[in-house]
Amino acid sequence: MESKQIRLWKQQVNVQLQSFFAFHSDATISSTDRDSWRFTGFYGHSEIARHKESWSLLEILSTQSIRPWLVAGDFNEVLHQKEKSGTCQRPQWQLTDFLSCWEKCGLADLSYDGLSYTWCNHRQESFTVRVRLDRRARLQIRRTYSQVPGDSHPMFGFGSCSYSDKFKPRRESSS
């Protein structure tokens, strides 16, 4: 596949699209004042029977580059039972499969400061289900950036919840 280059709001920031499909878009972000890094927007399949396809895709994506990697999106799964409220808990095997994928990819969940849940079915209170489906994860990104914010601010426009992040380059000490 031929990669495409996109110029963002600043001339010194470039986004080079590496791959995309219905469930992901993968890009390399580079600028004149920072090392390049990778961003993947990810959407986990909504059908539970197809979650393994999503986790396989994520595992393949994890091998595509050695750059610092930030993944964000709607994974349609939780890492822990406490990330779901209402009705039945998720079967443990679902969480185990997702967590196993997470570990194979070397991902670490970035902390989230905001609403506890990013999705709600909007039913009557006794039938209400709330779940944290959207998340951000990183792989080695703290080597490049001193501040990958732990707090994220939900706003409209990316799945059911999107994130605004500010990255600051880390200055290496001269010692």
The CATH number of residue 60's host domain is: 3.60.10.10
**Residue 6, CB half-sphere, CA atoms under 13 Å: how many?**
10
Is residue 128 included in any domain, yes or no?
no
Is residue 174 included in any domain, yes or no?
no
Task: Indicate if the pLDDT at residue 167 is higher than 50.
Answer: no
Is residue 103 included in any domain, yes or no?
yes
How much is the mean pLDDT over the chain?
A: 76
Is residue 14 included in any domain, yes or no?
yes
Q: Is 142 helix (H, G, I), strand (E, B) or coil?
A: helix
* pLDDT value, residue 15: 85
Is residue 85 included in any domain, yes or no?
no
**Number of domains comprising the chain:** 1
Q: Which residue has the tokens 């996109």?
A: 6
* pLDDT value, residue 148: 42
* pLDDT value, residue 18: 92
Is residue 37 included in any domain, yes or no?
yes
Greater model confidence, 39 or 135: 39
Is residue 127 included in any domain, yes or no?
no
Is residue 123 included in any domain, yes or no?
no
Task: Indicate if the pLDDT at residue 144 is higher than 70.
Answer: no
Token pair, residue 155, equals 């706003």
Task: Indicate if the pLDDT at residue 61 is higher than 90.
Answer: yes
Task: Indicate if the pLDDT at residue 111 is higher than 80.
Answer: no
Task: Give the domain extent around 62.
Answer: 4-77+93-113+134-169
